[in-house]
Structure 1
Amino acid sequence: MKLSIVIPMKCPDQAKGRLSEVLSQGERKALALTLFERNVCFFRSRFPEHNLLVVTVSEEVRQLAEAEGAEVLQQADAGLNAAVEAAARYNRSRGVESQLVVPGDIETLDQGELATLLDQPRQHGSVVVCPSYDGGTNALLTTPPDAMPFSYGPQSCRAHLLSALQLGLQAKRLYLEKLSFDIDLPSDLFRVAAGSVPKTA
């Protein structure tokens, strides 16, 4: 197996906490699940040749993912870095050569952008980081899957690039416009139309 696309997904009841000023818990949960399910469907329909692995602590998310044909790795630790590390260990143990991590809350996934990302050279000991608009990491392609420690959090794009360089890996920052937007803050909601979310392209 050459490539595994990994979508880490926290418990939806705890998702989108930074939107609590503008959305109720039920609305935040519904938004998180809508984005997640839509993005799982995107990868299953547009890139069916690649393994799709969802990592989650949530039984509800597991059922949704499996219904769409994704593989699921359930974890005990709810943290994002722990989820991605668990995926990397699992993928490396079964011979996966490269791992692409994409959050489940990307606003608009674009087939052309993802094709550009997946067409990047993936020699052993390489990392491709796609930044979010606020300096986070909205896609991380590592070869092998556990090539480096994961540092998700504020300014994680820079942290991932520095870590890769310190380890002597070939590192590339790849900006993809649509992929740079996720929905985390109230200001992010203002980019979407009247409570709707843009469709995948």
Structure 2
Amino acid sequence: MIWAILPVKELEGAKQRLSPHLPPDLRRALMQVMIGEVLEALLAARGLAGAMLVTLDPWATALAARLGARVTTEGARDGHTGSVTAGARLLAREGASGVLTMPGDIPAVTAAEVEAVLAAHGPAPAFTIAPAHDELGSNAVLMSPPLAVPLRFGEDSYVPHLAAARAVGIEPRVVPLPGIGMDIDHPADLLAFARLPEAKGTRTLAFLHEHGLT
């Protein structure tokens, strides 16, 4: 009964940090490709009870319906942290034993990497984290029970999340994974993603090649 939570904010104006290289329509299209790849990896992973999007975005809602994921709007306008926390509260009320959350901009993630995070997770209370490639962000967080550790996402959340787990008496387990670790947020990330072996064969890489972004 571990559920995945994928927060998706409304896609208008997505990825502002990429605006020097991509106009608004391409940023939105890139985000759609990436979200699709992340959701597909979550739904294909063994060991998850299901996946839930926290979103108000019509496109993301339609994608979830097509792929077989749940949607909640609870907390969808409360930022990344608020969305995940609201989703975790909802799933806790329904009896979930834990939650795994990832962002929508890690398109090299695979079902095997999701399963690796699940395999590393210990008995509750437990907290497992896969950091971003720069060891600043938290690109996968798995915790049991669903509200075991207070979360605070942002560009510098990895070390604070380790401290938050320890503050409630849980020794965090760290699982560095190349696909999960490679988020696309800044212009430099486009080339870094293109050089990543795990990116080969992704629709995101094909999109970047098609539009001359790598």
On whether the aligned pair clears a TM of 0.5, the verdict is yes
Name structure 1 gaps, 5 residues minimum. Answer: none
CA–CA distance in structure 2, aligned partners of residues 46 and 142 of structure 1: 17
Equivalent pairs counted in the alignment come to: 197
TM-score after normalising by structure 2: 0.85
Q: Give the letter aligned to residue 165 of structure 2.
A: A
Q: 1:16 to 1:93 in 2, by over 3 A?
A: same
Runs of 4+ in 1 over 6 A off after TM superposition: none
Please tell me whether residue 41 in structure 1 is matched to residue 57 in structure 2.
no
Q: 1:126 to 1:49 in 2, by over 3 A?
A: closer
CA–CA distance in structure 2, aligned partners of residues 123 and 46 of structure 1: 19
Q: 1:20 to 1:130 in 2, by over 3 A?
A: same
CA–CA distance in structure 2, aligned partners of residues 176 and 168 of structure 1: 25
What is the match of residue 14 of structure 2? Answer: 15
What is the match of residue 94 of structure 1? Answer: 94
What is the match of residue 170 of structure 1? Answer: 171
Q: 1:149 to 1:93 in 2, by over 3 A?
A: same
Aligned residues of 2:37 and 2:107 also touching (Cα < 8 A): no
Q: Percent identity?
A: 29
TM-score after normalising by structure 1: 0.90
Judge which range, 162-171 or 90-99, deviates more.
162-171
What is the match of residue 185 of structure 2? Answer: 184
Aligned residues of 1:98 and 1:143 also touching (Cα < 8 A): yes
What RMSD in Å do the two structures reach over aligned CA positions? 1.9
What is the match of residue 126 of structure 2? Answer: 126
What is the match of residue 5 of structure 1? Answer: 4
| 3-state SS in 1 of match to 2:4 | strand
Q: 1:123 to 1:46 in 2, by over 3 A?
A: closer
Higher share in helix: 2
Name structure 2 gaps, 5 residues minimum. Answer: 203-214
CA–CA distance in structure 2, aligned partners of residues 127 and 164 of structure 1: 7
